[in-house]
């Protein structure tokens, strides 16, 4: 798919406002399920590495599987629902560890988690992304540590109540 045909369907790439910078691209996701409602459309391979790019009229899905690149434009009108679920967090620092001290001092767990000694002190399950459009249904997974950034990226798409977010409870 050429850049001109993508621009016709979903517009140009979003511009970066230097005063209030916002992400115009997502992190890497892995495709776990892909269903198309049109039999003529090319199907993506499972476990493709995928990224989303914000465009003026929608989002562009770029998929890479064994260096075979595929681009799928998704206009805002065709989006039925985007569901983003963050995995369950496990916070269990041991007494007087740097992470425990930082948490007691009121430092955010998003920063304190980088000061752990053992892996069991902080973990987060993978994040899930489900996208339903008029033409496709797709399921993706990604590292749970990246979920906060992805929440802000998908909220900045301005798709209103089509976006559903879920945060599983911490332990």
Query: What pLDDT, on a 0 to 100 scale, did the predictor assign at position 37?
Result: 83
What was the pLDDT predicted at 104?
93
- In order, the DSSP letters of 105-120 are TT--HHHHGGG-SSGG
Task: List strand residue ranges (DSSP E) for the chain, in order.
Answer: 29-36, 49-55, 58-65, 68-75, 79-86, 89-91, 122-124, 127-133, 136-142, 163-167
Handedness of CA 24, 12, 161, 129 (dihedral sign): negative
Residue 30: per-residue pLDDT: 93
169 pLDDT tier (thresholds 50, 70, 90): low
Q: How far is residue 159 from each of residues 88, 95, 152, measured CA to CA in Å?
A: 26, 44, 13
Any long-range contacts for 156-163 (C-beta under 8 Å, 24+ apart)? 156/22, 156/23, 156/54, 157/54, 157/59, 157/76, 157/82, 159/76, 159/79, 159/82, 162/79, 162/80, 162/81, 162/82, 163/81, 163/82, 163/84
pLDDT tens-place string over residues 107-133: 988 888 888 888 888 888 999 999 999
């Amino acid at each position: 798919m050429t850049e001109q045909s993508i621009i016709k369907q979903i517009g140009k790439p979003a511009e970066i406002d230097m005063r209030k910078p916002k992400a115009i691209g997502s992190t890497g996701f892995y495709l776990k399920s892909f269903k198309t409602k049109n039999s003529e459309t090319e199907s993506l391979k499972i476990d493709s590495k995928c990224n989303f790019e914000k465009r003026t009229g929608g989002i562009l899905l770029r998929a890479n599987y064994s260096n075979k690149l595929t681009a799928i434009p998704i206009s805002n009108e065709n989006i039925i629902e985007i569901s983003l679920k963050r995995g369950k967090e496990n916070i269990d620092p041991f007494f007087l560890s740097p992470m425990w001290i930082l948490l007691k001092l009121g430092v955010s767990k998003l920063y304190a988690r980088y000061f752990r000694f053992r892996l069991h002190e902080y973990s987060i399950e993978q994040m899930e992304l489900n996208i339903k459009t008029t033409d496709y249904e797709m399921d993706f997974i990604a590292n749970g540590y990246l979920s906060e950034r992805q929440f802000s990226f998908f909220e900045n798409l301005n798709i209103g109540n089509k976006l559903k977010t879920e945060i599983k409870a911490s332990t």
